[in-house]
């Protein structure tokens, strides 16, 4: 197979179903050799079944591509290392890591358990850190040896994290952390020839089907298909994307956009008397845009939240 990622080797985590599956298939169509990682668990992370990963591998092989299944836990330190080693030992190199694996344990904060918090933070945040860490170690060693490096990390954030969605403080905190992780690591690894970006997908999958009204028409279903996310991820994994790093993209069947990060808004001279702050803060709030809502539009955050 030939294409945008011809000859490149990619790891895609959580690639047995949904968005991750689309990433793996798209990368393979563009010529990449793919490590299809998936534990095959339920949406909440329980259970395990490697057959979805093997099915994706067979689909890729059926297209004439090359792929191998991997069932390691992305949040396991040694498992993440095995995953990277598998790519290098099987295909001779590693060029891209797509951190996509995730679970949901939605609950309002007052009802959330410690286990629900820890499980989501572990899979999303540590599960992004661990594979990235071992991939960067591999690329750093190659760079130090004077070998050319064209490394790509593509992380999965969410509008729930960068804009905020009630009932998802664990998931949103992890996804906001991933956006920050993306920005920081992009600064660290540029000298090795590695880029780091993130994508915030909006699509109808097992994880999102209960979060809103179901699509009523085929057009709506098509617009919310996970296949819309794969093109930008595939491109970010390619050599063409060498000049793009530290960015967060929103991707869906409705839009492809760049999410702009935190930036300083209205400001004033520092004040050391808290009794004088009330009118000053009121003035600053009057000049500042309200937070973006889930649609990404500045000022869409409910004003009642600011007032109450």
CA distances from 108 to 16, 27, 123 (A): 29, 37, 19
Candidates 96, 134, 68, 88; CA nearest to 6 is: 96
Q: Which of 138, 163, 171, 222 is catalytic?
A: 171
Is 192 a known active-site residue? Answer: no
Residues 249, 227: contact at Cβ < 8 Å?
A: no
Q: What count of other Cβ atoms lies within 10 Å of the Cβ of residue 36? A: 32
Beta bridge partners, 68, equal: 35
Do residues 287 and 266 touch, judged by C-beta distance below 8 A? yes
Tokens of 246: 């530290």
CA-nearest of 209, 185, 212 to 197 is 185
- Could you give the CA distance from residue 39 to residue 33 in angstroms, rounded to a whole number? 20
User: Which residues are marked as active site?
Assistant: 171
């Amino acid at each position: 197979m030939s294409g945008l990622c011809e000859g490149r080797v990619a790891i895609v985590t959580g690639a047995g179903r949904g968005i991750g599956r689309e990433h793996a298939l798209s990368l393979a169509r563009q010529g990449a050799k793919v490590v299809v990682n998936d534990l095959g668990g339920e949406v909440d992370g329980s259970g395990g079944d490697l057959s979805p990963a093997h099915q994706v591998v067979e689909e890729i092989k059926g297209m004439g591509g090359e792929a191998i299944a991997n069932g390691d836990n992305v949040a396991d330190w040694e498992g993440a290392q095995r995953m990277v080693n598998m790519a290098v030992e099987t295909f001779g190199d590693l060029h891209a890591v797509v951190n996509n694996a995730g679970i949901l344990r939605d609950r309002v904060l007052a009802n959330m358990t410690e286990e629900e918090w820890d499980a989501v933070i572990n899979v999303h945040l540590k599960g992004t850190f661990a594979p990235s860490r071992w991939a960067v170690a591999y690329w750093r060693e190659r760079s130090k040896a004077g070998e050319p490096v064209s490394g790509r990390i593509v992380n999965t954030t969410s509008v729930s994290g960068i804009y905020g969605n009630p009932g998802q403080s664990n998931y949103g905190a992890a996804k906001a952390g991933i956006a920050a992780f993306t920005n920081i690591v992009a600064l660290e690894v540029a000298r090795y020839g590695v880029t780091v970006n993130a994508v915030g997908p909006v699509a109808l999958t097992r994880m999102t089907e209960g979060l809103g009204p179901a699509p009523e028409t085929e057009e709506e279903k098509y617009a919310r298909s996970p296949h819309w996310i794969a093109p930008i991820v595939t491109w970010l994994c390619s050599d063409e994307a060498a000049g793009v790093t530290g960015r967060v993209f929103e991707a869906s069947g409705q839009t492809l956009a760049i999410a702009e990060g935190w930036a300083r808004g209205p400001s004033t001279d520092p004040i050391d008397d808290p009794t004088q702050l009330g009118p000053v803060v009121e003035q600053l709030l009057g000049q500042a845009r309200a937070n973006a809502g889930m649609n990404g539009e500045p000022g869409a955050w409910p004003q009642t939240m600011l007032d109450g």
